[in-house]
Structure 1
Amino acid sequence: MEFNSFKKMLLKKGLECGFEECEIYYSQGESLSIGVYEGEVEKYNLEKSFGLSFRGKINGKMGYSYTEIMDFEALNMLIKNAKESALNIENNDIQFIYEGDKHYDKVSSYYKELENLDTSKMINLVLDLEKETKAYCKKVVNISGCKISYSYSSYGIYNTKGLELTNRNNLLMSYVVPVVEDEGQKQDGVGYVIAKSLDEVNPKAIAKQGVEESLSKLNGKSIPSGKYKTIIYNEAMVSLLDTFSDIFSADSAQKGLSLLKDKEGELIASPIVTIIDNPLLDDGLASTPFDDEGVATLKKEIVSNGKLTTLLHNLKTANKANTKTTGNGFKASYASQVGVSPSNLYIQKGESSFDELLKTVGEGIIITDLAGLHSGANPISGDFSLAAKGFYIKDGVKTFPIEQITVAGNYFDLLKEIEVVGDDLKFPMSNVGSPSLIVKEISVAGK
């Protein structure tokens, strides 16, 4: 069945079957991923997807259902399952279907230059990337990944209150993971680009980035245990910010799963730290003019000069807290219920260059890589104990690489101990970003 016909029939039938209000959310997309190995195309994956969810309020309860097929049988199934779902809900949380806002900002998330890409050019680019990576240095002994991929998606919301919203985005990305070896020791690194056109994919530049990162890690050694003044490199700080991002969710706070509950207005970080959630960020990977409840999104400072100004809300959590939604009602997928999550989340950059950070530290360490984030970090208490790699700093200069160390601490304490924020804000293939920054000290378990 054609989508518009299915949509109209479903909303009409929902009201006829007793729902007071109802809504449709849909998403569809396609992706092309091309991987090469030893000069040959190893993987060529073309995938298309479509999913539709239905939710409706009946007797004050919200029921959910979803499908990947649009026919008369699916129509009846969606109504039946949503009604059963609503009747089985035991909590008394007030649920909302939104009538919409008067204004929605435009976002930069779709690029016409990426329409109708020439797949032969994509293949040639990724083959050149592998070739350039191998030729860059004799120490390159293997390539554990070399890909180029394109993805497109569109999504929308329609409900019985007259709301009709749609948006679309697309993305081109290419990366290589070279493995280098020296004196029996192997290390890897990543070179990548997120591009708005094929012309922005430069195999030589990507190869250089990946191989140089790999080479910089060779001949690493452990350091004595102790407490060190530390630069947390932007990509490593992204890992921490992402891992602990749920602390800013009002839903988590209301369930007792965030220590930031009722902390609005309090100082929770260093006064030089500002943390932003910006769904309107140009070229952001999570930029969108509306959330998955149809609320117009807006840029907001979650933490402003160290002070917690707001948690992230959807309509339900905002009603509980007697405040306004922040436009962060998002689904994990079309089949999920609406939760709370950030869009483009990042620490606002400062004014110090990375060289200035090095000079400020004088002697200490740089943390560039963190491992074990799923098992070694507790998002509720903030405690973490993580395997790490990086570099030693001596006389304000990056010296030898370090490895086989574990860093431990508490995320809430770490936020308060940030002394300098760098200017190198980066979003490493992620909707989470951070600049490099200096922390007063971090506990290191080494040799």
Structure 2
Amino acid sequence: MEFLEFKNLLFEKALQVGFSECEIYFSDGESISISVYNGEVEKYNLAKSFGLSFRGKFNGKIGYSFTEILDEAAIDMLINNAKNSADLIENDDEAFIYEGDEKYSKVRTYSEDLQNIDPSKMIELALSTEEEAKKYSDKVVNINGCKISYSSSNYGIYNTKGLELTNKDNILTSYVVPVVEDESGKNDGVGYVVASSLDEVNPKAIAKQGVEEALSKLGGKSIPSGSYKTIIYNEAMVQLLETFASTFSADATQKGLSLLKGKEGEIIASPIVTIIDDPLMNDGLASAPFDDEGVATFTKALVSEGKLVTLLHNLKTANKQGVKTTGNGFKSSYASSVGVSESNLYLQEGKMTFDQLMSEIGEGVIITDLAGLHSGANVVSGDFSLAAKGFYVENGKKTFPVEQITVAGNYFDLLKNIVAIGNDLKFPMSNIGSPSVIVEGLSIAGK
């Protein structure tokens, strides 16, 4: 059955059996991923997927169902399952089918240069990246992973209030993980790129990034426990922001899972800290002109000069709080219900170069890698205790790599204790970005 025919018949039947409002969300995608090892293709995956979810308001409650097949049997199944799920809802939270906005911003989420991508060229690039990594240094003893991936999707929302929205996106990523070894031991590094064309995938540059990072870690040693002036490198800061991103969700605050409940308008961070959620960033990994409820997205400051301006809302959380949605009602997949999540969230960069940050601390520690984030970080309290790696700084310069240390602190205190921000904003294969920052008050446990 054709999509539009399916949609029209589904809406018609649903309204006939008592649904007052209806909506469908669909996603049609494809992906190619190629892994290579020792000069050969190790894995080649080509996948296509289609899914459609149905939401309908029945007796004032929103029921959900989903399918991957478009036929008359699926229509009856969607209606019955949505009706049954609506009947099971016991809370009185109001749910919404959105009528739409007057205007939707344009944002670049799709690259024509990636259209009809040639898998053979992807294979060539992956093999070349592995080869370049191996020959970059005689200390490279293995490649822990070398992969290139492409994905694209066409998705949209239709409802009985006249809303008709569609968008498409695509992305190409490539990475290599070389392992190096010397008399001091082994270490690995990661070289990667997020690209909007095959021409942006430079095997030599990716290999150099990965091998240089691995080499820089060789000879690492622990340092005595104590209080050190600390730079959190941009990629490590991204790890922290990712881990605690849900604290800005209004759904989390309303469920008692975030300490930011009721703190809009209060100072929660250093006055030099501004945190942005930007769904309109061109080529961002989470960019979209509308959220999964059909609300027009827009760029907003969550934290402005240290003050909490807003939490992230979908239609339901905004209604409960008596505010306007921020357009952050997103699904994790077509089959899931609408939740609240960030788009492209980042800590706004400052003006200091990384060298200036090192000069600023004089002597101290750079934290470049954090481990144990799932078990060592409490998202509700903000407390964390994490294994870390990095570098020691003396006289404003890197001296030796540091490992076997633990960094402990509190995320909410950390935001307040940022005293300098770099100009090296980075989104490391993530929709979360950050520059490097100088932070006071962290506890470092070593030897």
Q: TM-score range by the shorter chain?
A: over 0.9
Alignment of 1:68-83 (within 5 A): 68-83=68-83
Q: Deviations over 1:15-71 (max 9, x none)?
A: 111000010001110000111111111111001111110010011111000111111
In structure 2, the residue matched to 1:199 is 199
In structure 2, distance between residues paired with 1:20 and 1:413 = 48
In structure 2, the residue matched to 1:297 is 297
Check conservation: 2:366, 2:391, Cα contact below 8 A. Answer: yes
In structure 2, distance between residues paired with 1:148 and 1:53 = 30
Q: Which secondary structure does the structure 1 equivalent of 2:441 belong to?
A: strand
Per-residue deviation, 1:4: 1.4
In structure 1, distance between residues paired with 2:277 and 2:30 = 27
Q: Which secondary structure does the structure 2 equivalent of 1:107 belong to?
A: coil
In structure 1, distance between residues paired with 2:353 and 2:308 = 27
Q: Letter of the aligned partner of 1:138 in structure 2?
A: D
Alignment of 1:10-409 (within 5 A): 10-183=10-183, 185-409=185-409
In structure 2, distance between residues paired with 1:412 and 1:256 = 16
TM-score by length of 2: 0.99
Q: Letter of the aligned partner of 1:102 in structure 2?
A: E
Q: Deviations over 1:136-165 (max 9, x none)?
A: 000000001011111101110000000000
Q: How many residue pairs end up in the alignment?
A: 447
Q: Letter of the aligned partner of 1:24 in structure 2?
A: I
In structure 1, distance between residues paired with 2:198 and 2:336 = 34
In structure 2, distance between residues paired with 1:403 and 1:146 = 25
In structure 1, distance between residues paired with 2:11 and 2:384 = 48
Check conservation: 2:99, 2:161, Cα contact below 8 A. Answer: yes
Check conservation: 2:276, 2:303, Cα contact below 8 A. Answer: yes
Q: Deviations over 1:176-231 (max 9, x none)?
A: 00000011511001001111111111110100000000000000000000111110
Alignment of 1:412-423 (within 5 A): 412-423=412-423
Larger mean Cα displacement after TM superposition, 8-17 or 21-30: 8-17
In structure 2, distance between residues paired with 1:256 and 1:313 = 15
Q: Letter of the aligned partner of 1:335 in structure 2?
A: A
Structure 1 segments, 4+ long, off by >4 Å, are none
In structure 2, distance between residues paired with 1:337 and 1:130 = 40
Q: Which secondary structure does the structure 2 equivalent of 1:429 belong to?
A: coil
Q: Which secondary structure does the structure 2 equivalent of 1:441 belong to?
A: coil
Q: Which secondary structure does the structure 1 equivalent of 2:227 belong to?
A: strand
In structure 1, distance between residues paired with 2:259 and 2:88 = 31
Q: Deviations over 1:239-292 (max 9, x none)?
A: 000100111000111111110000000000000000000000111100000000
In structure 1, distance between residues paired with 2:8 and 2:427 = 40
In structure 2, distance between residues paired with 1:386 and 1:282 = 34
Q: Letter of the aligned partner of 1:89 in structure 2?
A: I
Q: Letter of the aligned partner of 2:269 in structure 1?
A: A
Per-residue deviation, 1:88: 0.7
In structure 1, distance between residues paired with 2:229 and 2:8 = 61
In structure 1, distance between residues paired with 2:247 and 2:309 = 13
In structure 2, distance between residues paired with 1:207 and 1:164 = 44
Per-residue deviation, 1:117: 1.4
In structure 2, distance between residues paired with 1:64 and 1:427 = 34
Q: Gaps (5+ residues) in structure 2? A: none
Q: Which secondary structure does the structure 1 equivalent of 2:229 belong to?
A: strand
Q: Deviations over 1:279-326 (max 9, x none)?
A: 001111000000000000000000000000000000011111111000
Q: Which secondary structure does the structure 1 equivalent of 2:212 belong to?
A: helix
In structure 2, distance between residues paired with 1:340 and 1:73 = 32
In structure 2, distance between residues paired with 1:85 and 1:103 = 33
In structure 1, distance between residues paired with 2:7 and 2:213 = 50
Q: Letter of the aligned partner of 2:381 in structure 1?
A: S
Per-residue deviation, 1:426: 0.3
In structure 2, the residue matched to 1:446 is 446
Distance 1:184 1:421, change over 3 A: closer
Q: Which secondary structure does the structure 2 equivalent of 1:228 belong to?
A: coil
Per-residue deviation, 1:116: 1.1
In structure 2, distance between residues paired with 1:142 and 1:184 = 16
In structure 2, distance between residues paired with 1:208 and 1:337 = 42
In structure 2, distance between residues paired with 1:197 and 1:112 = 8
Q: Gaps (5+ residues) in structure 1? A: none
In structure 1, distance between residues paired with 2:194 and 2:94 = 41
In structure 2, distance between residues paired with 1:73 and 1:289 = 33
Check conservation: 2:293, 2:338, Cα contact below 8 A. Answer: yes
In structure 2, distance between residues paired with 1:419 and 1:30 = 45
In structure 1, distance between residues paired with 2:119 and 2:67 = 31
Q: CA RMSD in A?
A: 0.7
Per-residue deviation, 1:441: 3.1
Q: Deviations over 1:63-88 (max 9, x none)?
A: 00011111111110000000000011
Q: Letter of the aligned partner of 2:173 in structure 1?
A: M
